[in-house]
């Protein structure tokens, strides 16, 4: 009779259909004194379990502890004062936003006038500094090497100087580690902070590891950033070759066919036969025609990206509902804002079980070219080796090159200041800007008269990508040493 009991039968069915959760439930005990300190808050989110464990790990670790900031800390830090920017169309004062510090090759947000009332020299970042975003998305880190040295950044960026210069790589790697970053982003009670000030670093502990370990980590981080600088030099060399071979003038020097040159806004004529179903002025901007006509004059041929000699496929992923899981339980998902980063920060992870069939179609491989297609349009990146099998979001179009002999060249042209207008001309949408795969397939592409120069440009781009892959591996090695020989050392 017991087996016929309805309750028993229901229980048996439930047990048979139970699925193991992809990410385990987190739990911890909280002392009453902590609840009182938190304003008698009882929400679990107020008490970050991982942050508490992270601090305990450092405080009870193998090595004594120092503080990163404060009077006795290993660093000094500062933020610059706020100021009102005077924007100009072009000047010798490009200014960068804090969000770009993690980009391998950051681009300026705009240009400011020398009349801007602030100490410009104070805004410049110096070689050997550690940079940290302190508002908005906080805790992103970069090290100032050749690429960033003397660049002007806005005020809301924490500049960190190590009292012993050879500690910089160690401090950087520690703060970028999962444990160090978790401590950085929370206060002593485990509550997530929304803004970082220099004073906050006085509460962030760091293990005082032996000098030999610190130096080893420092040297690896320095080498990683040297490789990034070298990759940027190769990109610059390839771009310069492209410009020289096609005899491109400066982008602002093109003689565009304006209807009234002295008008307050650009005015131009468009023939009815050239409308192509588009009546939005942005599609017909004269600079596009000027670039295309120039390429036809100096290139061996002007084709399009859809040419089978150029690409195997151009993929616009369909939209899908995402099921996120924690690190270790899913596949890496990267967004358009992260395309410029070597190791995209704030990575999300898609459930393997919920997206198993879809993920195999969305993943990318080395030398695929990615282009952002909505919001900020026209960011271009050549996929490095360590991004193999990662999943770019559905807001990113994939170009699968015909072969590796064209992949690098194609990426250099599309990422150049001459390729950008040819991409963005297709933009449509009243609220959120968009382009699609048919637009990308129609982007004009010049093939050079000198095949050897074109091959050289291609090879430089591929070599640059290899250096970025090496830079990634070296930084990962440094982070591994921080974990194994410092934080979790026995």
Q: Residue 333 — very low, low, confident or very high, per pLDDT cuts 50/70/90?
A: confident
Q: Residue 9 — very low, low, confident or very high, per pLDDT cuts 50/70/90?
A: very low
Reply yes or no on whether the pLDDT at 297 is more than 90. yes
**Does 24 map to a domain?**
no
pLDDT of residue 15: 38
pLDDT of residue 5: 42
Between 255 and 422, where is the model more confident?
422
Say how far apart CA 155 and CA 176 lie, in whole Å.
22
pLDDT of residue 100: 93
**Does 17 map to a domain?**
no
Q: What is the pLDDT of residues 11-43, one digit of tens each?
A: 344 333 334 344 456 666 777 877 787 677 776
pLDDT of residue 83: 87
**Does 180 map to a domain?**
yes
Average pLDDT over residues 54-73: 93
Say how far apart CA 123 and CA 154 lie, in whole Å.
7
Total domain count for the chain?
Answer: 2
Say how far apart CA 414 and CA 305 lie, in whole Å.
10
pLDDT of residue 17: 36
pLDDT of residue 470: 98
**Does 426 map to a domain?**
yes
pLDDT of residue 319: 78
**Same domain flag for 108 and 197:** yes
Say how far apart CA 418 and CA 17 lie, in whole Å.
58
Q: What is the pLDDT of residues 392-414, one digit of tens each?
A: 988 999 999 999 999 999 999 99
Reply yes or no on whether the pLDDT at 95 is more than 80. yes
**Same domain flag for 196 and 250:** no
Domain containing residue 421:
230-471
What is the reported pTM? 0.87
**DSSP letters along 287-339, please?**
HHHHHHHHHHHHSSEEEETTSTTTEEEEE-PPP----EE-TTSEEEEE-GGGT
pLDDT of residue 418: 96
**Does 392 map to a domain?**
yes
pLDDT of residue 133: 93
**Same domain flag for 190 and 280:** no
**Same domain flag for 287 and 405:** yes
pLDDT of residue 4: 44
pLDDT of residue 28: 67
43-47, 103-107, 149-153, 425-429: range with lowest mean pLDDT = 43-47
pLDDT of residue 282: 73
Between 275 and 316, where is the model more confident?
316
Greatest alpha-carbon pair distance for the chain in Å reads 96
Q: Which tokens in the block code for residue 126?
A: 């110096």
Q: Residue 180 — very low, low, confident or very high, per pLDDT cuts 50/70/90?
A: very high
Average pLDDT over residues 287-301: 94
**Same domain flag for 142 and 257:** no
Say how far apart CA 123 and CA 136 lie, in whole Å.
19
- What residue has token string 């017991």? 2
Beta bridge partners of 304: 444
Domain boundary (208, 242, 277) is at 208
Of all residues in the chain, the percent with pLDDT exceeding 90 is: 58
**Same domain flag for 150 and 242:** no
**Same domain flag for 323 and 204:** no
28-42, 47-61, 94-108, 201-215: range with lowest mean pLDDT = 28-42
**Does 423 map to a domain?**
yes
33-47, 418-432, 462-476: range with lowest mean pLDDT = 33-47
Reply yes or no on whether the pLDDT at 374 is more than 80. yes
Reply yes or no on whether the pLDDT at 7 is more than 60. no
Reply yes or no on whether the pLDDT at 489 is more than 80. yes
Best CA proximity match to 313, nearest among 403, 409, 381, 398: 398
Say how far apart CA 278 and CA 212 lie, in whole Å.
64
Domain containing residue 304: CATH number: 3.90.220.20
Helices (H), 42-84: 49-59
**Same domain flag for 314 and 441:** yes
**Same domain flag for 387 and 252:** yes
Q: What is the pLDDT of residues 198-239, one digit of tens each?
A: 999 999 999 999 999 999 999 999 999 999 999 999 999 999
Of all residues in the chain, the percent with pLDDT exceeding 70 is: 89
Average pLDDT over residues 265-280: 74
- What residue has token string 């009243």? 430
Crossing angle (nearest 10°) for helices 211-246 and 404-415:
80
Of 146-155, 186-195, 316-325, the range with the highest mean pLDDT is 146-155
If one counts every other C-beta atom within 10 angstroms of the C-beta of residue 461, the result is 26
Best CA proximity match to 131, nearest among 108, 106, 156: 156
pLDDT of residue 21: 46
Task: Supply the mean pLDDT for the chain.
Answer: 87
**Does 26 map to a domain?**
no
**Same domain flag for 123 and 159:** yes
Contact 398, 315 (CB under 8 A): yes
**Same domain flag for 154 and 196:** yes
**Does 58 map to a domain?**
yes
Reply yes or no on whether the pLDDT at 93 is more than 50. yes
**Same domain flag for 292 and 415:** yes
Q: Residue 356 — very low, low, confident or very high, per pLDDT cuts 50/70/90?
A: confident
């Amino acid at each position: 009779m017991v087996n016929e009991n309805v309750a028993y039968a229901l229980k048996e069915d439930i047990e048979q259909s139970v699925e193991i959760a992809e990410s385990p439930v987190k739990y911890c005990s909280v002392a009453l004194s902590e609840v009182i300190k938190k304003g008698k808050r009882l929400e679990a989110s107020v008490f970050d379990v991982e942050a508490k464990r992270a601090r305990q790990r450092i405080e009870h670790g193998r090595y004594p502890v120092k503080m990163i900031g404060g009077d006795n800390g290993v660093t000094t830090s500062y933020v610059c004062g706020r100021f009102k920017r005077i924007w100009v169309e072009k000047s010798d004062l490009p200014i960068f936003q804090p969000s770009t510090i993690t980009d391998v090759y950051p681009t300026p947000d705009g240009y400011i006038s020398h009349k801007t009332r602030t100490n410009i020299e104070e805004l410049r970042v110096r070689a050997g500094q550690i940079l940290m975003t302190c508002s908005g998305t906080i805790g992103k880190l970069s090290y100032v090497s050749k690429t960033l040295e003397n660049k002007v950044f806005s005020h809301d960026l924490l500049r960190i100087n190590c009292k012993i210069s050879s500690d910089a790589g160690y401090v950087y790697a520690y703060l970028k580690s999962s444990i160090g970053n978790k401590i950085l982003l929370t206060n002593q009670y485990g509550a997530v902070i929304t803004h970082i000030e220099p004073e906050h670093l006085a509460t962030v502990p760091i293990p005082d590891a032996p000098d030999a370990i610190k130096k080893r980590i420092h040297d690896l981080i320095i080498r990683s950033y040297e490789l990034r600088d070298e990759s940027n030099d190769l990109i610059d060399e390839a771009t310069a070759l492209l410009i020289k071979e096609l005899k491109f003038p400066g982008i602002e020097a093109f003689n565009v066919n304006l209807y009234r040159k002295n008008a307050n806004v650009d005015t131009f004529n468009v023939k009815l036969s050239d409308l192509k179903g588009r009546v939005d002025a942005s599609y017909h901007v004269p600079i596009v025609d000027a670039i295309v006509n120039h390429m036809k004059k100096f290139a061996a041929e002007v084709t399009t990206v859809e040419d089978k000699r150029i690409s195997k496929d151009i993929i616009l992923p369909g939209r899908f509902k995402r099921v996120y899981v924690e690190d270790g339980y899913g596949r890496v998902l990267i967004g358009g804002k992260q395309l410029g980063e070597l190791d995209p920060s704030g990575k999300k992870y898609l459930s393997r079980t919920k997206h198993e069939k879809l993920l195999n179609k969305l993943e990318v491989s080395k030398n695929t070219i990615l282009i952002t297609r909505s919001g900020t349009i026209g960011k271009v990146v050549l996929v490095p080796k360590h991004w193999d099998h990662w999943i770019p979001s559905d807001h990113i179009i994939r170009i699968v090159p015909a072969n590796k002999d064209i992949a690098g060249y194609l990426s250099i042209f599309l990422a150049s200041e001459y390729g950008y207008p040819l991409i963005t001309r297709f933009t449509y949408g009243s609220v959120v800007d968009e382009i699609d795969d048919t637009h990308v397939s129609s982007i004009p592409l010049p093939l050079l008269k000198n095949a050897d120069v074109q091959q050289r440009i291609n090879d430089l781009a591929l070599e640059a990508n290899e250096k970025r892959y090496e830079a990634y591996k070296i930084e990962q090695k440094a982070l591994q040493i921080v974990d194994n020989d410092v934080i979790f050392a026995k």
